[in-house]
């Protein structure tokens, strides 16, 4: 009566009433019921032809398994009577098989299993030898994960990392003071010549953060609404391509969008340029969207995957989480620009001023995260893991999703 169980999948408690609902008998008769029912998964034979309902009925009538077996000759149904009399020894064996032994002395003192504080003097050297840098830092003091990440960011230089081919990352060194986000500095690119200027700058720099905006969450079916680029802190732009008026009428700034095919023709050489590193957050989505427009993005880095390799189980790896953790900045949310509930609308109906702030900020945040996190792969000996395993996955998964599977009708 003082014992309850927790069912972890459904997160419900199991007490006396729940046991009765499942087996038709109280907890003290569950072993007797299981001896009759058997369990093929655990090689418990039970009594042939007797299931849960029959076992519950018999135990309710006779009170216990022993009483049932002693009076089995009284049962009128021939098959049921024969199952109990002919397989008596098998049923008793089944009871022993399902019974939990409570008379076995424990091999250790029960108090030795109590949770104890870890011995940091022994554990930290072990963690360092195994190259569990994050766990070692967490054991080393009471500093919080957030404070730790920010201190690390302050100490981490953004000097050239493992890709000198993609430009001098130290051009704007990371300092202990993170440059504030200035949304007013973001540019809405509505002219093809301005877009060409950004492309030329990115090609000279050797890297660029890229993000796409669409009218749906599905990368395989959504329509491309715009593309954002970032070349440095607060040096980001948004190229609107598919914005519309939500009342069906053209509104002023929507008329100033670069035609989709012209914009793609300018962006394609940049996004496919092997000498320019493209940086994204969850870049698999962007790969799929752009591939549907004839652009095969390469090479690339993914800040989500970099973060996962560095600190897989420590926290989430979405852009908002990483921005708050490493940059101390809460980005504009999609709901803030597109609304919620009945007022929610597709991103293609968001005005260009708000769309630019939201989309360009995404690219800005992504680039800042990359400059903070990528050097740590080298420092923690994880660059090979990222390069050989994780960085290849977005292309593979994107191709699989776009190809789909063939179904024989």
Mean pLDDT of 134-149: 54
Q: Mean pLDDT lowest for which of 93-97, 243-247, 384-388, 392-396?
A: 243-247
pLDDT at 140: 64
User: CA triplet 253, 343, 350: central angle to 5 degrees?
Assistant: 20
Task: Name 99's Cβ contacts closer than 8 Å, sequence gap at least 6.
Answer: 31
- Between 3 and 145, residue with greater pLDDT: 3
**How many Å apart are CA 121 and CA 139, to the nearest integer?**
10
**How many Å apart are CA 241 and CA 264, to the nearest integer?**
10
Contact 228, 280 (CB under 8 A): no
126: tokens are: 């072990």
pLDDT at 248: 53
Q: Mean pLDDT lowest for which of 2-6, 33-37, 155-159, 195-199?
A: 155-159
**How many Å apart are CA 258 and CA 275, to the nearest integer?**
26
Q: What Cα–Cα distance (Å) separates residue 146 from each residue in 40, 107, 140, 378? A: 51, 43, 15, 21
Any idea what DSSP says for residue 39?
B
Collect contacts of 60-67 with beta carbons under 8 A, ≥24 apart.
60/24, 60/25, 64/29, 64/32, 65/32, 65/35, 65/36, 65/91, 65/95
348-381 pLDDT, tens digit per residue, is 999 999 999 999 999 999 999 999 999 999 999 9
Any idea what DSSP says for residue 355?
H
282-302 pLDDT, tens digit per residue, is 999 999 999 999 999 999 999
- pLDDT interval class at 1 (50, 70, 90): low
Mean pLDDT computed over every residue of the chain:
86
Mean pLDDT of 19-42: 91
**How many Å apart are CA 323 and CA 292, to the nearest integer?**
29
What angle, rounded to 10 degrees, do the helices at 30-37 and 16-23 form?
A: 20
Q: Is it the case that residue 16 has pLDDT exceeding 60? A: yes
67-80 pLDDT, tens digit per residue, is 999 999 999 999 99
Any idea what DSSP says for residue 251?
-
Whether the link from the prior residue into 299 is cis, omega within 30° of 0, is yes
Looking at the DSSP assignment, which residues form a beta bridge with residue 229? 210, 237
What domains does the chain contain, in order, with CATH numbers?
A: 5-98 (1.10.150.20), 156-403 (3.30.420.10)
Mean pLDDT of 87-115: 88
Burial pattern 159-194, b for ≥16 Cβ within 10 A else e, equals: eebeeeebbebeebebeeebeebebeebbbbbeeee
157-216 pLDDT, tens digit per residue, is 433 333 333 333 333 334 345 789 999 999 999 999 999 999 999 999 999 999 999 998
Give the pTM.
0.57
């Amino acid at each position: 009566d003082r014992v309850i169980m927790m069912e972890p999948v459904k997160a419900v408690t199991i007490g006396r009433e729940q046991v009765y609902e499942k087996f038709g008998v109280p907890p003290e008769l569950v072993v007797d019921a299981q001896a009759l029912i058997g369990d093929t998964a655990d090689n418990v034979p039970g009594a042939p032809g007797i299931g849960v309902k029959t076992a519950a009925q018999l135990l309710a009538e006779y009170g216990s398994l022993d009483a049932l077996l002693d009076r089995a000759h009284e049962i009128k149904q021939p098959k049921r009577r024969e199952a109990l009399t002919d397989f008596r020894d098998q049923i008793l064996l089944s009871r022993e098989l399902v019974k939990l032994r409570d008379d076995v002395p424990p091999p250790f003192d029960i108090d030795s299993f109590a949770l104890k504080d870890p011995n940091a003097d022994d554990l930290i050297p072990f963690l360092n030898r195994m190259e569990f840098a994050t766990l070692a830092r967490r054991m080393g003091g009471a500093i919080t994960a957030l404070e730790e990440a920010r201190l690390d960011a302050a100490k981490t230089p953004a000097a050239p990392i493992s890709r000198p081919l993609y430009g001098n990352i130290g051009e704007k060194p990371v300092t202990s003071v993170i440059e504030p986000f200035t949304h007013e500095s973001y540019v809405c690119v509505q002219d093809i010549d301005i877009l060409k200027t950004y492309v030329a700058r990115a090609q000279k720099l050797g890297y660029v953060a890229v993000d796409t905006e669409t009218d749906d969450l599905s990368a395989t079916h959504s329509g491309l609404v715009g593309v954002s680029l970032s070349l440095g802190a607060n040096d980001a732009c948004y190229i609107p391509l598919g914005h519309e008026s939500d009342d069906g009428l053209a509104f002023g700034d929507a008329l100033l969008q670069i035609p989709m095919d012209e914009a793609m023709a300018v962006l394609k050489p940049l996004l496919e340029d092997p000498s320019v590193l493209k940086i994204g957050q969850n870049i698999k989505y962007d790969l799929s969207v752009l591939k549907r427009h004839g652009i095969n993005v390469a090479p690339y880095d993914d800040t989500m995957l970099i973060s996962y390799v560095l600190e897989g189980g420590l926290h989430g790896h979405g852009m908002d989480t990483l921005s708050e953790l490493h940059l101390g900045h809460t980005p504009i949310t999609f709901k803030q620009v597109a609304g919620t509930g009945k007022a929610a609308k597709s991103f293609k109906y968001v005005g260009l001023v708000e769309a630019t702030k939201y989309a360009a900020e995404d690219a800005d945040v992504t680039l800042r995260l990359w400059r903070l996190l990528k050097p740590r792969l080298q420092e923690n000996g994880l660059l090979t893991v990222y390069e050989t395993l994780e960085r290849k996955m977005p292309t593979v998964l994107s191709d699989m999703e776009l190809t789909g599977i063939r179904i024989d009708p």
